[in-house]
Amino acid sequence: MTTTATAEHRSFEADVSRLLHMMVHSVYSDRDVFLRELISNAADACEKLRYEAIGKPELLGEEPKLAITISTDPEAGKLTIADNGIGMSHDEMIEALGTIARSGTRSFMERVATADGKDGAQLIGQFGVGFYSAFMVATKVEVVSRRADSAEAWTWSSDGKGEFSVAPSPLEEAPARGTRVTLHLLEDAKSYAERWTLERIVKEQSGHVPVPISLITEPGADAVALSDGAALWTKPKSEITKDEYADFYRSVAGQYDEPAATIHFRAEGLHEYTALAFVPGARPFDLFDADRKGRIKLYVKRVFITDEAELLPRYLRFVRGIVDTADLPLNVSREMIQDSPLLAAIKKGVTSRVLADLAKLAEQEPDTFRLIWDNFGVVIKEGLYEDFQRRDQLLGLARFRTTASGEGWRSLKDYVGALKENQTAIYYIAGDDASRIASSPQLEGFRARGIEVLLLSDPIDSFWASTAPDFEGKPFKSVTQGAADLGLIPLLDGTAPPSAETSEKISALLASMKEILAEEVADVRSSDRLTESAVCLVASDKGPDRQFERLLSAAGRVDSAAKPILEVNPRHAMISAIASAEDQALRNDLAHLLLDTARVLDGERPTDANAFAERLNRLVTRSFGDS
C-alpha cells in the first residue's frame, strides 16, 4: 500500500532552533558522541517494548528478538541506525523530535555558549539532547518509525536549520515495527560510514547496551555482530574490566566522566537481587532539582521496569546504576512498586551497601573519597537530618571545614581525637558565608584556647546540627548559643583565663546597656568568648542558634527572630572608655552603636539605618568638637 498524503511542515520551538544552530556551528573535540546517543535511544525503545509486551505479548508479533542494526552505504555517504523496539506514532514523533523542553535546553545552551571544544560530549550527555547531536555529522536526518501493533508509519525529516516535516510513510518502505534513523553525512564526517570507525565507537561506548548490536557494512552485505546484548551486571566481577564498568556507567548515567566509585554485588538469602551502582566523578546537572529523584533503574529478570522506583534515599540521588531482581512478578505495575515490601527491603540493602562502601573508600582511598565529598557532601548531609536510623553512620562519613583544617576536610573522628583538656562538646558555627563565619568574633575565645570549631556554611547544616544528639558521646554545641563555658580550658599562651568578675564601672555599664537596649536584646552580659572584639551577639541557651533562627524567620516559621543576647568584652579598651562616660545621651548612642556593630559582625544590617547614621553623626561631631 502506498500513500500520497501531503507532508506537514513545522518549525522547531525557538529553543530547539537555537540549540541546533549551536551544535552544528560549535566545534566539538569528540563528535563520536552522536552514535552513542542514537544507540542509547534505540536501546530505550527496545526496553520499552519489552516492558509493554509483558501485558501484550502480541506486540512482539513474529519478531520476538529485539535488536539494533547499524547499516552503512559508504558510496552514498549514509549511516542508518535501526531498532525493532516500540516505535513512535505521529504525535509521539512530533513531541520527541520537535520539542525538548523537558531536557534542560536552556541550561544546556547557557553552558555550551561558554564551553570550549573539550566539553561538548559531556554537555550533551548531561542534558539529554542526544538525538540532536546527529546534526554535528549530518546535513540531513530522516527518521522512519512505526509503532508496535500500528497500521501506520511516519517519516520525520529535517536539515537542522529551523524546520522539520512529518509525513505518512509507505508501509512497504517502513520497518514492521520500530524506528530507523538515516544520516546523510557531511563531507568531513564520511569516516562514520567506515567499518573500523563504527566498530571502535560501538565497542568503546556502547558495548554493554542490553540489546544486541550488529553492523551491515554495505548494501546487501551480511550482518556482523558487534555486541551480544548480555547484561554486564550478570557477569562475575572478576571478568569485568575497569573500562567495561566505565562504558556501562556512561551508558546508564548518560554522562561522559569516569565513575569515582563502582559498587557491584549480588544479595542472596531472603531476597535475591543484583545491584550495580556508580558514584559519578562529576556533579550531574540535576543534582539540586526540587523533586530530588533518584536515578536507579529497576529490572526484573533483565526486563526494564522503571527508573522511578525509590531504590535509594533522596540524599543518595547522585548515585547511578541498576537493580535487577527475580523476586518481583514481571507484570508488576509501576504504581504498586512504591508500596512493595520487597522494594523496601532492597532499598534498605542497597543503601547500607553504598554507605558501607563509601566508608571503606574513605579509609582506604582518602583522596578518592575527598573528591566524592567535594561533589556530593552537601547532598549526603541531607541524610543527617532525614535519616535518623543511619545518622551515626553518616556522621562517620561526613567531612567538615574547621578552624584547624585550612582548606582541607576533617572527620568527626579526627575532631574528637583532638579534643582539648576539659572540652566536653563538639563546637560548630553555622552561617551562609564560609569566609564570614570563619572570622566571626564568637570564635575568638575558642581560637585563643586552640579549640577546633566546625565551620558549617551549607543550608542543611543548621537543621541537622540542631537535631543531632551527639557523636561518640560528645554533644554538638553552637558557639553562637548560650554561655561559652570556656573557663576550665587553658589558654594557648599559658596565661590564666580572665576572671569572670567585672569592675563596678563595667557592671554598671552592662546594667545600663541592658536597660537602654531592653526592647532589642534579651540580656547584656560579660563575655568569656571574646578576646579581640568589643561585642558579639549570641542566642539563648534554649531554642535555635543564631543561624537556625534566621532561617526559620526567613521561611515564615516564626513571626520574628527571638531577642538575642549581647555579649560585651569587659577587657576591651573601648568598653573601658565607655564605662567611664558619664553623659547619659552619649552612653545611649554608644549602646545602640555597639549593638549595631554586633549585628554587622554577625552578617546582618542595623535594624534602623537612619537611626544608626544619626547616632554615628552625633558621635563624630562630638569627637571633633571635643578636639
Going by the annotation, the residues of the binding site for ATP are: 37, 41, 83, 88, 103-104, 126-131, 179, 334
Cell of residue 532, nine digits: 579581640
Select from 168, 346, 175, 359 the least CA-distant residue to 274: 346
Half-sphere exposure in the Cβ direction for 545 (13 Å, CA):
25
1: its cell numbers: 500500500
Q: How far apart are CA 219 and CA 612, in angstroms?
A: 84
Cell of 416: 574528637
CA distance 482 to 253: 47
DSSP 403-439: TTTTTS-EEHHHHHHTPPTT--SEEEEE-S-HHHHHT
The continuous run of DSSP H or E covering 84 comes out as none
In angstroms, what is the C-alpha Rg of the chain?
33
What is the DSSP code (8-state) at residue 310?
-
Residue 296's H or E segment, with its range, is strand 295-300
Q: Which residues of 544-583 are buried (b: 16+ CB within 10 A; e: fewer)?
A: bbbbbbbebeeeeeeeeebebbbbbbbbbeebeebbeeee
Q: How far from each other are the two terminal CA atoms of the chain, in whole angstroms?
A: 105
The 10 Å CB-count burial string (b at 16+, else e) for 351-385 is bebbbebbeebbeeeeeebebbbebbbbbbbbbbb
Quickly tell me which residue has 568503546 as its cell. 204
- Residue ranges of the binding site: 37, 41, 83, 88, 103-104, 126-131, 179, 334
User: Can you name the residues that pair with 476 across neighbouring β-strands?
Assistant: 426
Strand locations in 350-488 (E): 399-402, 410-411, 426-430, 453-456, 470-471, 474-478
C-alpha dihedral over 174, 180, 181, 184, to 10 degrees? -50
Beta bridge partners of 402: 454
492 to 200, 251, 414, 444, 448: CA distances (angstroms): 64, 56, 20, 12, 6
Report how far residue 84's alpha carbon sits from residue 148's, in angstroms, rounded to the nearest whole number.
9
Residue 455 CB neighbours (<10 A): 22
